[in-house]
Structure 1
Amino acid sequence: MKKLLSLLTICLVSQFSLFAQSDLVINEISYNPITPNNGPEYIEILNNGATTIQMEGMNIPRTAPNGVRFTFPKFSLGPGDMVVLSNDSTAFVQLWGVPCFDYAGFALNGGLELRLEDSTGKVLDSLTYDNAAPWPLTAAGEGSSIELCDPGTDNSLAFNWQRSTTFSGLIYRQRKMYGSPGKLNSCQNKPIIHARYRTFSVDENAGTVNIGVYLENSNGLASSTEVKAIGITGDITKDITFTSPTSIGFAGGMDERLDFSFTVIDDTIVEPDETILFVLQNPTNGVFANDTVMLTIRKDDNDNPVTRQLKLVGIMNKGGQNPDPNLVEVMALSDIPDLSIYALGCGNNGGGTDGIEFTFPKVAATKGKTYFVTRQPAEFKTFFGFDADFLDTAAGGGTTTATNFTGDDAMELYENGRVIDRYGLVDVDGTGEIWEYLNSWGKRKDGTGPDGNNFVASNWTYGGTNAVQGASVNDSATNPYPLPKEPVDTTSVGPYFSNTGTITAYPNPTSNEVTITGFNTAQSVVLMNVLGKALDSKFQVTNEAKFDLDELNAGMYFIRLTSTEGESHVLRILKE
């Protein structure tokens, strides 16, 4: 709560002689400053005459509870001189470097009648300021005093006042301080355009932020300004969403405040505080006061690092969206204990990113192995002869949209919310592009990627037009989807299998015999072709099973193990 302060001794001395009462003018007021602890306020009185005025006994009476109250001691004010009164002379002198008197009470924030009277109670000057239009708006806690433009005019009329545009060099509460106590006022002959903040800090999760821009001293004509964003330590394309430059237009019929908006991008990247500068530029029918806003996006302690240990290695579309299978294939570049930090999102038809649409489950992945995601598990199994690893369906933990594509849509791979790899361009419809995969596929070249928030077309090979159209199984396609050569245990990480062991086949690829190990007891172990036809079977097998592939043609084969509990494990084998 503000405290009433006692009167102190005189701080300003001038020559004196007889005075002319009408020459004393209340000339500048700072009633709601943004300085520390909301003070100090000040009132400036000008001797607008040609003779020295004896001030002793003159006073400002209290006109409202807690309002200003002050009586001048023996003191004289020379022609053209000013005397300043404040509610805290010590803080005022430290801040402004100008001597002053102390008054009791306060220049009230909501408006106040100020009267200057002589010792007999005769009114020498009187006005009632307000914190709303038509009085200047930025004096109401936004960093500016109000100044009388011409001391010869009626200071009781709001249109004879302007907000100060004299910058003190000081910034408090993120705003510049304007005022000219003890100095001549300087008014503008054009509307004043003023950004509310000089500095502004937000958290990374702030979302949409509005910054006010004021128009004051309007002259009835339209005014405008552009707002441009400049990255300092921040990136205006990755840290915020903002169209730069953005135009702000004022109708000009009255003083007003309009906002420009931006959205802070809440990523998960570990990074320090980031700064972006907003600059007002190219004004029409106006001059600037504060024309810059320095935005600081504070460091987010919840951000997570990005390791880029998973990459996109394949994508396929067959027959549109349903019922034929789509797939996304990813590869682990190291052992990943928890895949749930990774996610997929589809950018449809060049409409930009749709963000995360499928998050991998909380399971481990093995270095060098690839994993398949689909939203059509039955059709996928029919086409390839083995189960996909992850289901992009409600049952599989997905939102049924990441793999809901038609061959002209981009795919994004996320880690901790940040794009770390990409197929296609999210803002380009893929129809007719080199990366189009309608009834076809794209496959990453070995040793490339991940490519970050970019699409590097030369890092991929493409199936070509209608590579898999009309095929009932992959091997019968005109240009089959290239399956990986390494063994794949779809059950070791799949969300719908319970096995946690490691079942492997070696050597793989093989030219004749293959050995399967890593299980305890299997009810059956079956060698199948890509159509699912059993070629050889073994039953009640313990620890190890062997098959002779010497008489089989080169190509892809599968081995299905079924446990006594009914669990299935599928391995992919390549015969050379």
Structure 2
Amino acid sequence: MTFLIAPIGRTCLVSLLALGLFWTVSGRADSLFFQPDTTTAADSVVAFNEIMYHPAADDSALEWVELYNQMSVDIELSNWRIEGGIEFRFPANTILAAGNYLVVAADPAALQTARGVTNVFGPFTRHLSNSGDTLRLRNHNGRLMDELSYGDGEPWPVAADGSGASLAKRDKFSASSPAANWRASARVGGAPGRANFPESESTGPVIDQLLNPDSAALWFVPTDDSLGWSWTLPTFDDISWAPGSASVGFDAAVTSASPPVACAYSFDGNV
């Protein structure tokens, strides 16, 4: 708990910081009245930690937002609200224990069935936009506690946009606004209600070059432009093309992983 008292003549201005909440007062020294200060920047007491804004197969019933209590004490969320892309107000007697997670879902029953998660609130109204949205968390006095505006393109992780991965904070104690503090979840479906990543996990380097000279590929050198763009279609018959070796290729076959793991790939370069 911190007090800052600034006397101005017979009037005292007092600021109080307690449990991450700022309170201000202006008045005579013999009759001080405290009220919450709702004008300053967000306080990360309870913060956004994971967001499923674009579930696989565009199933909006599986949209959800996760909060994390960054404090070492329990926080009462009664009458707190999430606003912006979605709207939700927490009911009375809502307590988020110290260091714990809480999920707000578009359809709590659907999420519990799909992911087996507990401590789910909802439903919220409206839906999270697949192309980007703003989320704000306000306490019962209207003070802004956390805020972020995510997107579906760089600098935000593009793999969270419809691949089945969630938008997950790298470090649960980091600020929510910077895109660099977020990545796509390691598991399809995310990790609602629990840590985004194991504490010992290393995210590893970003591989920006891939070379496999022994991989098989098909190639064809046309003598004119009669081929057009038909070769880019999945139904194109390439049986007459000659086999060869290539550095990287593409195949429509699907290889299943257990448990499912989300991987993101992108290509960039010149020919």
Interval containing the TM-score (normalised by the shorter chain): 0.5 to 0.7
Q: Percent identity?
A: 27
Match of 2:88 in 1: 70
Match of 2:10 in 1: none
Structure of higher CA gyration radius: 1
Distance 1:223 1:91 in 2: 40
Letter in 2 for 1:70: F
Q: Report the CA distance shift for 1:222/1:68 in structure 2 as closer, same or farther (over 3 A).
A: same
2:196 to 154, 168, 185: 185
Tell me by how many angstroms 1:94 deviates. 0.8
CA contact (8 A) 2:55 2:189 kept: no
Letter in 2 for 1:58: W
Match of 2:103 in 1: 84
Tell me by how many angstroms 1:247 deviates. 2.7
1:165 to 182, 186, 194: 186
Match of 1:126 in 2: 147
SS of equivalent to 2:247: strand
Match of 1:52 in 2: 74
Letter in 2 for 1:123: L
RMSD: 3.2
Letter in 2 for 1:151: K
Task: Give the unaligned 5+ runs of structure 1.
Answer: 1-17, 167-176, 192-217, 230-237, 249-259, 263-274, 280-287, 292-576
Query: Which gives a bigger RCO, structure 1 or 2 (Cα 8 Å, sep 6+)?
Result: 2
SS of equivalent to 1:56: coil
TM-score, reference length from structure 1: 0.31
Q: Deviations over 1:456-497 (max 9, x none)?
A: xxxxxxxxxxxxxxxxxxxxxxxxxxxxxxxxxxxxxxxxxx
Match of 2:45 in 1: 23
CA contact (8 A) 2:53 2:128 kept: yes
Match of 1:41 in 2: 63
Match of 2:229 in 1: none
2:117 to 79, 93, 98: 98
Tell me by how many angstroms 1:185 deviates. 1.4
Tell me by how many angstroms 1:152 deviates. 2.1
Letter in 1 for 2:91: P
Tell me by how many angstroms 1:277 deviates. 6.0
Alignment length (residue pairs): 194
Q: Deviations over 1:214-258 (max 9, x none)?
A: xxxx4xx733264957xxxxxxxx97969687434xxxxxxxxxx
Task: Give the unaligned 5+ runs of structure 2.
Answer: 1-17, 22-43, 217-237, 265-271
CA contact (8 A) 1:242 1:261 kept: no
Q: Report the CA distance shift for 1:81/1:239 in structure 2 as closer, same or farther (over 3 A).
A: farther
CA contact (8 A) 1:52 1:76 kept: yes
1:204-283 to 2 correspondence within 5 Å?
A: 218=206, 222-224=208-210, 226=212, 246-248=246-248, 260-261=249-250
SS of equivalent to 1:39: helix
Tell me by how many angstroms 1:129 deviates. 0.5
Distance 1:147 1:43 in 2: 10
Distance 2:112 2:150 in 1: 25
Letter in 2 for 1:40: L
Tell me by how many angstroms 1:276 deviates. 5.1
TM-score, reference length from structure 2: 0.62
Q: Report the CA distance shift for 1:106/1:241 in structure 2 as closer, same or farther (over 3 A).
A: farther
Tell me by how many angstroms 1:126 deviates. 0.7
CA contact (8 A) 1:19 1:54 kept: no
Q: Deviations over 1:413-455 (max 9, x none)?
A: xxxxxxxxxxxxxxxxxxxxxxxxxxxxxxxxxxxxxxxxxxx
1:445-464 to 2 correspondence within 5 Å?
A: none
Distance 1:116 1:158 in 2: 18
Match of 1:370 in 2: none
Match of 2:225 in 1: none
SS of equivalent to 2:129: coil
